[in-house]
Chains A and B, each alone.
Chain A
């Protein structure tokens, strides 16, 4: 994934309700194998977290960004 595409994806991800920060990291031993770390705001209603996960997943499904794993961390 080139830098321009990555920046656009990061910008779109940050617009999703509940997403605080996003980081891309490439697993050095696996070419093109990228992990996306998402720091999210904890919510009392778990349905809102699921909704956030689904919006992120749909973006990745459409992006062809070769991200193999999304790691969620509470803020």
Chain B
């Protein structure tokens, strides 16, 4: 019988622009499909988001960030990352911090200029088990770090 489940590496904070959120419920990164092969081959053509070439590098991802905070959506609106009447501006920084059960931490940095909020929860209050979910579309370099 398992007494307790310990995640090997768990997200402990998410930096969206100038704000660091530590009340993280989950982070899920969904990378665009890859097919292997030449790393420098162009991935997409025209307005298509479907991979056209072959590459080892994921170039585009949807990152789902769920936070247990009712401040999240108002903060996004204030920073214009969520613009109800026009285009969302790109985040000024986008970093996820993970912690291992040994206490060490690492970061995953996404190219801020290529990261935009795509979708948010339909309401900006935390009610019971309902937390605020944000979907961010990002592409370009993803910088992982070693544990330290």
A interface, CB within 8 angstroms of B: 30-31, 33, 40, 46, 49-50, 53-54, 56-58, 60-62, 64-72, 74
Contact = CB atoms under 8 A, between A and B. Distances in A.
Interface of B: 13, 15, 20, 39-40, 92-95, 97, 99, 103-113, 140-148
Contacts of B104: 46
Given A46-B105, A62-B112, A57 B143 contact: yes
Given A49-B105, A53-B105, A53-B106, A58 B15 contact: yes
A17 B13 CA distance: 20
B113 A64 contact: yes
Contacts of A64: 111, 113, 140-141
B145 A72 contact: yes
Instruction: Please report whether the interface of chain A is mostly helix, strand, loop or mixed according to DSSP.
Output: mixed
Nearest to A40: B148
B140 A54 contact: no
Contacts of B140: 64
